Amino acid sequence: MIARRHLALATLPLLVRPAIAQTPWPARPVRLIVPFAPGGTTDVVGRIVAERLGARLGQPVVTENRAGAGATLGAQQVARAEPDGLTLLVSSSTSHGVSPALYPNIPYDALRDFTHVGMIARSPSVLLVNPASPYRNLGDFAAAARTAGEIRFAVAGVGTSSHLAGVRLAMALGVRTESIPYRGAGPALTDLMGGVVPAMLDSLPSCGPHVRSGALRALAVSGAERADSFAELPTLREGGLDVVSYAWFGISGPAGLPAPVVQRLSTELRAVLNDPPTRARLEELGGAPPDTTPESYTAFIRDELAAFAPLVRAAGLQPQ
């Protein structure tokens, strides 16, 4: 009898493992960490995707804002999470491009500590001023900056893509920069609309509605070509300034996500981005979604890390 009992206990793990393996994923709601304050581009893009992704997964995808330290606080939270696919990150050109070059003691490795699932969108920055500003176009802004010898602009955080776009713009103009950092694009846009700060560069998904409503005046975009949804806006290159800059956003999880979870996430994310209403919504905001895979998104991040590092050093940026 004892021998039989020991045999039954010994075979129990073999019986349990298949049951665990067959548990459908996700069995609980999924958290999607947005490493910026509400109202910014990362938040807007994350919420658009979260709603559609949750419908396809059969569980809610709940966005949580975890702002601070150039998106590194939210990214660190996901890097340290259990690799069960229930905690994901809206990774971006800030958290996985600029900040690794900016922060000397960053608490994660942008490649080793994450499983990258796919890109959501890529969006140019927009040069913005208050509607009461005397700058009616890019030429007015450039002439005033050269006369003053500097440009002052709000940024969604030190080392964000919009910050780097402003640095590139100042370099092209041959002037100094005075950046005014905020804890996200939302608060910065509010102060720009209130006349507290004179200018800002921000990605189209967060600033687009304010431009359409007339609450902000857009002077130019930083893309290589004009944005389809704002075709009237010239590029910085058209204004004689050799500046091309994009923000990008994607979905990542902690390192070690099981292959079936990665495959399911990749499949559902691509389905969401190819859904006509979602695609139209993102394109309307200026962020046309690409068709990416976990492998291509990982390779893209590797290339961006190599590109941002020399720019951060050349600009002399320091974390604040």
pLDDT, one tens digit per residue, over 230-246 is 899 999 999 999 998 88
DSSP 292: -
Say what percent of the chain tops pLDDT 70: 92
pLDDT at 208: 87
Let me know if residue 267 belongs to a domain: yes
CA dihedral 32, 34, 37, 42 (to 10 degrees): -120
CATH code of the domain covering residue 37 = 3.40.190.150
Let me know if residue 19 belongs to a domain: no
Task: Quote the domain boundaries for residue 182.
Answer: 124-230
- Whether residue 169 is found in the same domain as residue 74: no
pLDDT at 4: 45
pLDDT at 5: 41
Let me know if residue 166 belongs to a domain: yes
- Check: CB of residue 80 under 8 Å from CB of residue 255: no
Q: How many domains does the chain have?
A: 2
- Residues of the chain short of pLDDT 50, as ranges, are 1-10, 12-13, 16-21
Let me know if residue 84 belongs to a domain: yes
pLDDT at 288: 66
pLDDT at 7: 47
- Whether residue 75 is found in the same domain as residue 220: no
Let me know if residue 242 belongs to a domain: no
Q: Report the candidate in 213, 148, 208, 205 with the shortest Cα–Cα distance to residue 178.
A: 148
Query: What is the residue-wise DSSP string for 57-119?
Result: HTS-EEEEE---TTTHHHHHHHHTS-SSSSEEEEEETIIIIIHHHH-TT-SS-TTTTEEEEEE
- Whether residue 197 is found in the same domain as residue 294: no
- Whether residue 209 is found in the same domain as residue 255: no
Q: Within 13 Å of residue 290, how many CA atoms lie on the same side as its CB?
A: 16
- Whether residue 225 is found in the same domain as residue 129: yes
Token pair, residue 21, equals: 């393996």
pLDDT at 34: 97
Predicted model pTM:
0.78
Let me know if residue 50 belongs to a domain: yes
Let me know if residue 52 belongs to a domain: yes
Let me know if residue 14 belongs to a domain: no
- Whether residue 176 is found in the same domain as residue 94: no
pLDDT at 6: 46
Token pair, residue 5, equals: 């009992």
pLDDT at 2: 44
pLDDT at 240: 95
- Whether residue 261 is found in the same domain as residue 200: no
CATH code of the domain covering residue 132 = 3.40.190.10
- Whether residue 98 is found in the same domain as residue 146: no
- Whether residue 44 is found in the same domain as residue 190: no
Neighbours of 260 (CB within 10 A): 11
- Whether residue 256 is found in the same domain as residue 109: yes
- Whether residue 101 is found in the same domain as residue 194: no
CA dihedral 253, 74, 39, 297 (to 10 degrees): -30
pLDDT at 47: 95
- Whether residue 128 is found in the same domain as residue 225: yes
pLDDT at 22: 57
pLDDT, one tens digit per residue, over 12-69 is 445 544 444 457 899 999 999 999 888 888 898 999 999 999 999 999 999 999 998 8
